[in-house]
Amino acid sequence: MAQESKAARKAHPKHFVKGLPFKAHKITGFSPEMLEHHYEEVYGGAVRRLNEIEAGLACDGASTELRNEFVSVSNAIVLHEVYFASLGEDGGEALTDDGLQRAIEESFGTVDQWQAEFRALANSVPDGWVVLVWSSRFRRLMNVVFENDAQAVLDAEPLLAIDLAEHAYAADFGNDRAAYIEAFTQSLHWSWIAAQFHGAADTSPKAQDDDATQMSVADLTERLDRGEDILVLDVRHDDDRERYTSRIMKTEWRDSFDVVGWAAEMPKDRPVVVYCMYGFWVSQKAAAELREHGVDARSLAGGITSWRAMGLPCTRIESQA
């Protein structure tokens, strides 16, 4: 498997996608297919392009064209990561953070007034982004408009962002952008937005992402490229395998509902990485059960969606296991 991985990738990418922070089928009003396409093809495409740009700059550091594209693509990556993180499962959540609510009221008057301005801007911009940012210079929140990815407010931390390009909504909403904006603003992940605000405003330390029970796509590909002997297994549920009939390279499938039935077959002398669709509880639970049986097991952060978003090799499943 490590040899196949080496042949499939000539150079190890420097930049990798962040995993989707939600289960796509749980975002109210949005189809998982549209969200996954947006994540894999548009956001993942930007990350892949950044790797190509940096490889080009290594050969021709004086290229103004590549330097300009570097700014646009880098901003697109950050904005997409904020966009996906802005969305909360099951219709989002209420704004309960007192510090963020006070900041919104100080900057806009009321939360309703902020939302009215945000929606109005989103409805009026022909393309691009509307972003709620915290300005360190002016010590306030602002709604800003980016008509293209190369624009930015240099001292500002983006807290939430709505993508107004057609790829973000047309598949589900057609030309009804107002319905898309309504669905987006009704599904906000306020606890994440509040954490970003407190980190930007220096009111609390930012949380750390490290988790020894998971392995990132970047780490897995690097270790496979080094020739490490790692067993990678598909533990997705049947409905996810039926929806996306491909696997990471030539990995075998195992039933996540019956880990105890196959745990004894797992090697104890090398790492085992299990993946599901998005890297949430399916693979995390399977990895935890394997560790209880003495297996050095981790779940793949971001799941197969992050793998596909990086354009890494997959094998089509001709018939389900």
pLDDT of residue 204: 46
Q: pLDDT-derived band of residue 319, with 50, 70 and 90 as boundaries?
A: low
80 and 139 in a common domain: yes
225 and 178 in a common domain: no
Q: How many structural domains does the chain have?
A: 2
The yes-or-no verdict on residue 263 having pLDDT over 90 is yes
pLDDT of residue 11: 66
252 within domain boundaries? yes
6 within domain boundaries? no
184 and 145 in a common domain: yes
pLDDT digits (tens, 9 = 90+) for 85-123: 999 999 999 999 999 999 999 999 999 999 999 999 999
106 within domain boundaries? yes
Domain boundary among 153, 168, 200: 200
- Select the more confidently predicted residue: 270 or 13: 270
221 and 167 in a common domain: no
d(CA 2, CA 313): 12
153-146-302 Cα angle (round to 5): 90
d(CA 156, CA 137): 8
Question: Which 3-state string (H, E, C) describes 214-274?
Answer: EECHHHHHHHHHCCCCCEEEECCCHHHHHHCCEEEECCEECCHHHHHHHHHHCCCCCCEEE
68: domain CATH number is: 3.55.40.20
d(CA 182, CA 191): 19
179 and 268 in a common domain: no
123 and 151 in a common domain: yes
Residue 103: beta bridge partners? none
pLDDT of residue 13: 83
Q: Where do the H-state alpha helices sit in the chain?
A: 2-8, 32-37, 44-59, 64-86, 98-108, 111-124, 170-173, 177-185, 190-200, 217-225, 238-243, 259-262, 281-292, 303-309
135: exposed, middle or buried (Cβ count in 10 Å: 0-12, 13-18, 19+): middle
158 and 281 in a common domain: no
175 and 92 in a common domain: yes
309: domain CATH number is: 3.40.250.10
178 and 39 in a common domain: yes
Mean pLDDT over all residues of the chain?
A: 91
Decide if 196 contacts 189 (C-beta within 8 A).
no
103 and 64 in a common domain: yes
Q: pLDDT-derived band of residue 49, with 50, 70 and 90 as boundaries?
A: very high
Decide if 144 contacts 75 (C-beta within 8 A).
no
5 within domain boundaries? no
183 and 37 in a common domain: yes
Domain boundary among 172, 200, 228: 200
Residue 65 lies in domain: 17-200
The yes-or-no verdict on residue 205 having pLDDT over 70 is no
The yes-or-no verdict on residue 79 having pLDDT over 60 is yes
d(CA 304, CA 300): 8
Domain boundary among 151, 172, 200: 200
Q: pLDDT-derived band of residue 10, with 50, 70 and 90 as boundaries?
A: low
222 within domain boundaries? yes
246 within domain boundaries? yes
pLDDT digits (tens, 9 = 90+) for 146-178: 988 778 777 899 999 999 999 999 999 999 999
11 within domain boundaries? no
Decide if 147 contacts 121 (C-beta within 8 A).
no
Rg (alpha carbons) of the chain, rounded to whole number = 21
181 and 39 in a common domain: yes
Nearest alpha carbon to residue 233 among 255, 261, 253, 219:
253
Q: For the residues 241-252, what does the mean pLDDT come to?
A: 89
Share of the chain above pLDDT 90, in %: 80
